[in-house]
Amino acid sequence: MTARQSPERKVHLAVLGFLRSVLFGNPVIHHSPNEFGMAGAAVARQIAKHKHLGMAVGFPDLVAFTFHGPLFFEVKAKGNYATPEQKFVHAELSRLGYRVAVVKSIEDVRAKLAEWGIPTKETEQQGEVFP
């Protein structure tokens, strides 16, 4: 019997694959694992350990390091929303001048990249010109 993937995992993998396929320059894309497949005291110990080592609760799921600076993406399944901790970290990153988005689909990512003026292999094929 195989374990079923969560809806958020499916979106996460789709967004990751999309970013890898459309961003120029072979960007480094990093996933920040802030969730643990444990319960009870074991998870409490892991969280404490990772916080001690610098884990920021609420940090976005994916960071794409590009020639246009880092792009932060919080990936959510449809119907799910950012937690208060995530909203706080996103606001702080935005305040520092970084681009942060909560995305629930490839279309959301595509729209954010366009809003941010990030050229992609898709937009180049469509003949769009970026400054």
Mean pLDDT calculated for residue range 5-31 = 93
DSSP symbols for 8-44 = HHHHHHHHHHHHHHHBSS--EEEE-----S--HHHHH
Q: pLDDT per residue over 24-69, tens digit each?
A: 998 999 998 766 555 677 777 776 776 776 677 889 999 999 999 9
The pTM (predicted TM-score) of the whole model is 0.84
Question: How confident is residue 126, by pLDDT bands cut at 50, 70 and 90?
Answer: low
pLDDT exceeds cutoff 70 at 130: no
pLDDT exceeds cutoff 60 at 96: yes
Q: Decide: 29 and 62 in contact? Cβ < 8 Å.
A: yes
The Cα 33–Cα 67 span in angstroms is 24
pLDDT exceeds cutoff 50 at 1: no
Q: Decide: 64 and 29 in contact? Cβ < 8 Å.
A: yes
pLDDT exceeds cutoff 90 at 95: yes
C-alpha separations of 79 from 7, 65, 73, 116 in Å: 10, 28, 17, 25
Tokens of 119: 């050229």
Among 45-49, 64-68, 74-78, 121-125, the least confident range: 45-49
pLDDT exceeds cutoff 90 at 116: yes
User: Helix, strand or coil for residue 113?
Assistant: helix
pLDDT of res. 29: 97
Amino acid at position 14, single letter: A
pLDDT exceeds cutoff 60 at 128: no
